[in-house]
Amino acid sequence: MRLKLVVIPVLLAVAVSYYVYIPLPDAIQEPWRLMLLDAGFRTTLHLASLMDWLGLDHYIRSIRRSTEHFEGMTKGLGPTESGGGVMLGVKVSDITFAGIPVRIYEPPAGGEGHLRRGLMFFHGGGWALGSGKRGSYDTINRMVSDELNTVVVSVEYRLYPEVHFPVPYLDCLTAAKHFLSPEVLAKYAIDPERVAVSGDSAGGNLAAAVAQAISIDDKATVKFSIQALIYPVLQALDFNTPSYLQNKAIPVLYRDLMVRFWLQYLGVDLSLLPQWLVNNHSSLHHSAITPELRSRVDWTVLLPQEYKKDNKPVVVEKDSQGQRKEVPGLLDVRASPLLAGPQTLAKGPRAFILTCEYDVLRDDGLMYARRLQDAGVTVTSEHLEGGFHGCFSLIEWPNDFEIGKRALRSYLNWLQTNL
């Protein structure tokens, strides 16, 4: 009996350690904290899959409930309270812009006639998860509003599984056009020459796409002056870029999960995930993907050698066994802003693009920075050598990481100087 009392706890400890531990690059700081965070996230994914398999709840809705429950448990326990109302002089209001739910953050009123900055923000979450009203997104937007005297508008666009592309994009574009109208800018005392659009991950995708649309819209009397993109996801043609391969098993955005997010967003059967992982969906047999279009996502040309290393392109000559399916949104620049032509890119606003070394989306951001620069756009490329996907929003207890605070400070400093 005594032996069992010793052995059982030891075995449980070994089992937990085995589940939690994953090998991480030495450059990632606070590795065990990231492992614990990832273990919790993986557990949530496993439970959601079980709920979905049992027919009790949709996979995504189950994840939402779990994360919302966790946020509710930790709310107010850390150094920053993320409730509604007024904080640090910032007024928070939940209203709609042309029918789209938004949360507005207004800094303390300045002197008579003083105009303020404006910023529209789109949260990340794979077009399926997240909300700008909760957690660190809410905190970040309060900080931007307070520190930079900025009216921030966070958009609650619709998500999968309730909708697919292009609905989230159209929600964001509709809200952006309303925000940029002279009447709304005047109402909130915003300088029309100092309005930004921003977002992280899938939100960075939406921000880039909306910035492009507004920049080429001849009817838009006011346009975004800058775009700030945090590790944006920008293309779905190549899931074998060096960063997709290097970081396929780095938390918290695994390669398989990112491809799944794309399939969900574009309304593709999830059973085709293995085909997309090997680039079968973008084979040379796909006549609509012209050589010129492929050049816009050609990492062998667009990436510096230090990121290409010894990787070779994965190009499928002909889709295997005819399993490639037509996906209307695959080549749509509203879904994949990296596919936009140079004429469109040239009209875009100045850009800040933050990328992380240990992120499957690293090369998407680096290629976009290069293409914008080639088109004549001024770009600030901020690369975090020890960064990983999601770190930008990991700034609050119990998931506050030093690399996340660095990422946020870089973002705030750039906005302070450029907006």
* Catalytically active residues, by annotation: 201, 359, 389
The rounded distance, in Å, linking the Cα atoms of 269 and 393 is 30
Q: Which residue do the tokens 């012209």 mark? A: 290
- The rounded distance, in Å, linking the Cα atoms of 174 and 271 is 33
User: Could you tell me which of 204, 133, 154 has the C-alpha nearest to residue 392?
Assistant: 204
Cα separation, 281 vs 325, in Å, equals 7
- Per the structure block, which two tokens stand in for 81? 């309270």
User: Secondary structure of the chain in the HEC alphabet?
Assistant: CHHHHHHHHHHHHHHHHHHHCCCCCCCCCCHHHHHHHHHHHHHHHHHHHHHHHCCCCCHHHHHHHHHHHHHHHHCCCCCCCCCCCEECCEEEEEEEECCEEEEEEECCCCCCCCCEEEEEEECCCCCCCCCCCCHHHHHHHHHHHHHHCEEEEEECCCCCCCCCCCHHHHHHHHHHHHHCCHHHHHHCCEEEEEEEEEEECHHHHHHHHHHHHHHCCCCCCCCCCEEEEECCCCCCCCCCCHHHHHCCCCCCCCHHHHHHHHHHHHCCCHHHHHHHHCCHHHCCCCCCCCHHHHHCCCHHHHCCHHHHCCCCCCCCCCCHHHCCCCCCCCCCCCCCHHHCCHHHHHCCCEEEEEEEEECCCHHHHHHHHHHHHHCCCCEEEEEEEEEECCHHHCEECCEECHHHHHHHHHHHHHHHHHC
